[in-house]
Structure 1
Amino acid sequence: MAKAPSDLTLNQVRYFVRVAELGSMTETAAEMFVAQSAISTAIAHLETTLGHKLFVRQRSRGVVLTEQGTTFYAAAQTILRSVDDAVHSLSPERLTGQLAAGCFTTLAPFWLPTIYEDLTSAHPALDVRLREVTGDQVEQLLLRRELEVALTYSFDYGRSIDFERLSEAPVYAAVGEGSHLAGRSTVSLEELADEPLILLNMGKSANYFLSIFQDAHLQPRVHERFESFEVVRSMVARGHGYTILNQRPAHDLTNDGGRIVRLPIDGVRSYLQIGVAHRADESLSRKGEVFIEACRSILG
């Protein structure tokens, strides 16, 4: 029989949430600087209080949530967020607790360090945890509540995700210095379609780049596909083809010392937005709001 809800403690809830996210009591204990026995005892007491098994212990996979554990995980996140907001209401100038935020992997090198510095400088007591994510991970991690917000592109994430636009990501073609197109001031999509394309192949990103040609009723010659932004740039710099990208590094050098030439594409507009994605069915915590404010200040 379940005990009275008053037997539940905040530490039990905090331990439970982190174990659910890490899938390991050992890792949770190390991260929170407590004995593993304290974690396992707290989880056992919590299960007794609730009258339900929250985890299944598996040797090869650590621990995984049961159906009841998954349900309670969502509620536990709300509990912890409400406590943080209640504490914040007494000292609105001082944010504490943990902010779990994501950043699309190709945006991360350009914006994530500055966002991190702005947040930690303005809110030194805030535990900022930033994570690189792909387009295919954004919706999943937000709905699993592993992230509250994510700086990303305006891909189709479904009705469960809201997207707040901050800026447009300009599109351009990149060729090597030795390309016959390198001396041009602009290039047409028709000309590019006849050249070998080195495609940045990151799920939703690949679909977006290919859609630029599809919208113009053109079929590109995809020569190679890579998931790394820098590998694509290096391949282009070495003359293996051209690529189409959105983010603009501060210089045109590649990691291996090559150089690319960036060209505007005649008559092509990106229409791809950069912004912050978050769950549509609930209001943001103050921590989520300050993340958006930091992103807006930097990108807006």
Structure 2
Amino acid sequence: MRPTQKPDISLTQLRYFVAAAEQGSMTWAGEELFVAQSAISTSIANLEKSLGVQLLIRRRAKGLQITTQGVDFLQRSRAILAAVDDAVSALRPENTAGRVNVGCFRTLAPFYLPSIVSSLEEAHPELQLDVTELLADGVNDALHDQAIEVALTYDLGLDGDITREVLAQVPLYVAVGATHTLAGRSSVRLADLVDEPMVLLDLPVSRDYFMQAFTDHGLRASVRYRFANFEGVRAMVASGHGFTLLNQQPKLGYTYSGGELHRLSIVEPTRPLDIVLARRASSAPMTRKASLFADEARLAVARIMGSTADATQTAS
């Protein structure tokens, strides 16, 4: 009985396919990899022929659409390329050249990413950090699909098979404008806010977390405005259009428009949020490149949270 012939697949084909699938264009994939578009197209066509399945649908003037089989193959291809890359790095641990795909929660990015990127660029200029900005409803998929290896995120809506390394815990607080009747206080009861207009940071899963602070105490907030932009919420509150609930605390209490915000602690017990490094529980050990990002994330969170705590103590 003749053995089944295995498909003849190269790492180059996998790299070209992953780039094309991620970019949604063979032309853009070629630009990213510094090769001709025709080389990308031919390589992927040969890959599909070897596999006997169509991975990408070519749409004239509309880019590429990945097929169902392509989605699964993309996930596995990323894992293969990461494993090969890490195996090579293990032989030469001093070599950190190459790409690493990581994720960061949208509202955490402005606080932590600049210092993380600066530190990595200074210490490892050969490392290419590709960051995907995520919301709570996208972290699980990005990790499961291996679009990213690790995420700096809140512990919000994460699946049970996601491991979490807690870096810090941030409490919930109330923010009001300088002219608000509560601005002179240092703390407030949630019960005192139910008749006040609320400006909600309206992001997936996050919105439920904020509203849960009220429902846990049998209360219902009066949401007047909803914004998916952190600074949009802060600007509306500073302009006197209501209060909001937030976790992250900018060093400055001023908004883009120059309005001033006052922070109040909450008298009732509320659930804080954990800032975590999240990974798939079933994934291989973290690669060297991802470990570099994780190390800098730990340092950045510890440093910024420490300075925030010092500023809060000074203000009080």
TM-score, normalised via structure 1 length: 0.93
User: C-alpha deviations, 1:210-250, integer Å up to 9, x for none?
Assistant: 01111111111111111111111111111110111111111
Preserved contact between residue 29 and residue 36 of structure 1 (Cα < 8 Å): yes
Q: How far does residue 269 in structure 1 lie from its aligned partner after superposition?
A: 4.0
Alpha-carbon distance between aligned partners in 1 of 2:20 and 2:160, rounded to the nearest angstrom: 29
1:286 is aligned with what amino acid?
R
Partner of 2:266: helix, strand, or coil?
coil
Alpha-carbon distance between aligned partners in 1 of 2:269 and 2:292, rounded to the nearest angstrom: 34
Partner of 2:198: helix, strand, or coil?
strand
Identify which range, 45-54 or 96-105, moves more after superposition. Answer: 45-54
Alpha-carbon distance between aligned partners in 1 of 2:269 and 2:110, rounded to the nearest angstrom: 25
Preserved contact between residue 176 and residue 242 of structure 1 (Cα < 8 Å): yes
> Match of 1:154?
155
Matched, 1:190 2:162: no
Partner of 1:101: helix, strand, or coil?
strand
Preserved contact between residue 3 and residue 50 of structure 1 (Cα < 8 Å): no
Identify which range, 12-21 or 40-49, moves more after superposition. Answer: 40-49
Alpha-carbon distance between aligned partners in 1 of 2:195 and 2:19, rounded to the nearest angstrom: 52
Alpha-carbon distance between aligned partners in 2 of 1:176 and 1:271, rounded to the nearest angstrom: 23
User: C-alpha deviations, 1:62-120, integer Å up to 9, x for none?
Assistant: 22223332232222112211211111112212212211111111111101111112222
Preserved contact between residue 24 and residue 65 of structure 2 (Cα < 8 Å): yes
Preserved contact between residue 163 and residue 277 of structure 1 (Cα < 8 Å): yes
Identify which range, 134-143 or 48-57, moves more after superposition. Answer: 48-57
Preserved contact between residue 172 and residue 265 of structure 1 (Cα < 8 Å): yes
> Match of 2:102?
101
Preserved contact between residue 3 and residue 51 of structure 1 (Cα < 8 Å): no
Matched, 1:225 2:204: no
Partner of 1:248: helix, strand, or coil?
coil
Identify which range, 12-21 or 47-56, moves more after superposition. Answer: 47-56
Preserved contact between residue 153 and residue 275 of structure 2 (Cα < 8 Å): yes
Matched, 1:141 2:137: no
CA 1:134–1:60: 2 relative to 1, 3 Å: farther
User: C-alpha deviations, 1:252-274, integer Å up to 9, x for none?
Assistant: 11001111111111133442101
Partner of 1:193: helix, strand, or coil?
coil
2:296 is aligned with what amino acid?
A
Partner of 2:47: helix, strand, or coil?
helix
Alpha-carbon distance between aligned partners in 1 of 2:54 and 2:215, rounded to the nearest angstrom: 51
> Match of 1:19?
20
Root-mean-square deviation (CA, aligned residues, Å) is 1.8
Describe how 1:1-300 pairs up with structure 2 within 5 A.
Answer: 4-5=6-7, 7-59=8-60, 61-283=62-284, 284-300=286-302
Q: How far does residue 147 in structure 1 lie from its aligned partner after superposition?
A: 1.5
Alpha-carbon distance between aligned partners in 1 of 2:71 and 2:230, rounded to the nearest angstrom: 35
In structure 1, the gaps of 5 or more residues are: none
Alpha-carbon distance between aligned partners in 1 of 2:44 and 2:67, rounded to the nearest angstrom: 13
1:165 is aligned with what amino acid?
V
Alpha-carbon distance between aligned partners in 2 of 1:175 and 1:130, rounded to the nearest angstrom: 33
Preserved contact between residue 85 and residue 285 of structure 1 (Cα < 8 Å): yes
Alpha-carbon distance between aligned partners in 1 of 2:121 and 2:169, rounded to the nearest angstrom: 26
Partner of 1:199: helix, strand, or coil?
strand
Alpha-carbon distance between aligned partners in 2 of 1:60 and 1:170, rounded to the nearest angstrom: 49
Alpha-carbon distance between aligned partners in 2 of 1:159 and 1:25, rounded to the nearest angstrom: 36
Preserved contact between residue 143 and residue 280 of structure 2 (Cα < 8 Å): yes
Q: How far does residue 60 in structure 1 lie from its aligned partner after superposition?
A: 5.5
TM-score, normalised via structure 2 length: 0.89
1:220 is aligned with what amino acid?
A
